[in-house]
Amino acid sequence: MSNPIAPVENPSAKPRRMEDGGRMNSGGSQSGVRAESGKSSARQVPPDSLTVSQRGPVTLVRLSRPAKRNALDDVTIAGLETFFSSPPEGTRVVILHGEGKHFSAGADLSVVAETSAATAVRLSRAAHRACDRIEYGDVPVIVVLHGAVIGGSLELAAAAHIRVAEHGAYYGLPEGTRGIFVGAGGAVRIPRLIGTARMIDMMLTGRTYSASDGASLGFSQYLVGDGQGLARAIALAEGIAANAVLSNFAIVQALPRIARADPETGLLMESLMTAIAVSDEEAKARLNAFLEKRAPKTSHRPAAAE
């Protein structure tokens, strides 16, 4: 499969390279990374704060503002919305991760401090759109968490389908101590993970949680050693990419909506998705392979470092 991401010549930028395991090594700003979209003939040009690379059917998106602890400004949020609205052709799973010592310290407070009420509403709604594109996009999204996962970045992570945390990650919602409020969908998504009472406590007191505590509370589904998050995410993504496309789509699209629907509506949605998924030719081929003993049975293999 050809790589649809081609670098644009930029004499002032040092090259970026893919290291073993999909790690990216940055030698400077690269504003010209381009992604071909399968849904549009127009090319997407991510901002300097985002770096896009591809590993077969897995596309990696990296927050690239390490000097600002990957703080999320309006340009970065707009870039995320654009990317997740139309990932590169051939993408079956997306991995979102951060450059440097932290996933992200949250909203760029230097921008927030000068924001009017009207602008704050506009920026919040833009963040809602970006996070909705992640949660309700066409493909599963895995996020890798390390270092600070604070405020708006925790809201961003909550929109992903799978969260892999390194031991050094920590979670916080310091909005109460800053005199502000969550604005990227956290008021809806984070209570689904940890409950409303715990979120209230975090916002009122500034309480933080370690990665270990966060794994038990629901912030992440996987906990790995420091420096191992991206490798684990890639391994998960490659397995997910091997699933039936329609099945993956149904899982990420239908399950969250069924969970929020009333029981009768949820059960009807389940029946409809069952019928759609099982009628797919790929599903039939996979079921026949299992019945003919050409596919492995499900077995339990304890995972290391979880």
Q: Which residues pair with 63 in a beta bridge?
A: 50, 98
Sheet holding 33-36, edge to edge: 5-7, 33-36, 43-44
In sequence order, what are the residues at sequence separation of 6 or more whose Cβ sits closer than 8 angstroms to the Cβ of residue 119?
none
173 close to 203: Cβ distance less than 8 angstroms: yes
How far apart are alpha carbons 41 and 262 in whole angstroms? 40
What would the two tokens of residue 197 be?
A: 């009472």
Active site residue 175: yes
What would the two tokens of residue 290 be?
A: 């299992």
Active site residue 155: yes
| E strand or H helix at 201 | helix 196-205
89 close to 37: Cβ distance less than 8 angstroms: yes
Place of tokens 């703080």: 71
Which listed residue (114, 155, 281, 282) is catalytic? 155
Largest CA distance in the chain: 65
Amino acid identity at 17: R
Which listed residue (19, 175, 270, 282) is catalytic? 175
How far apart are alpha carbons 275 and 262 in whole angstroms? 20
Please give the positions annotated as active site: 155, 175
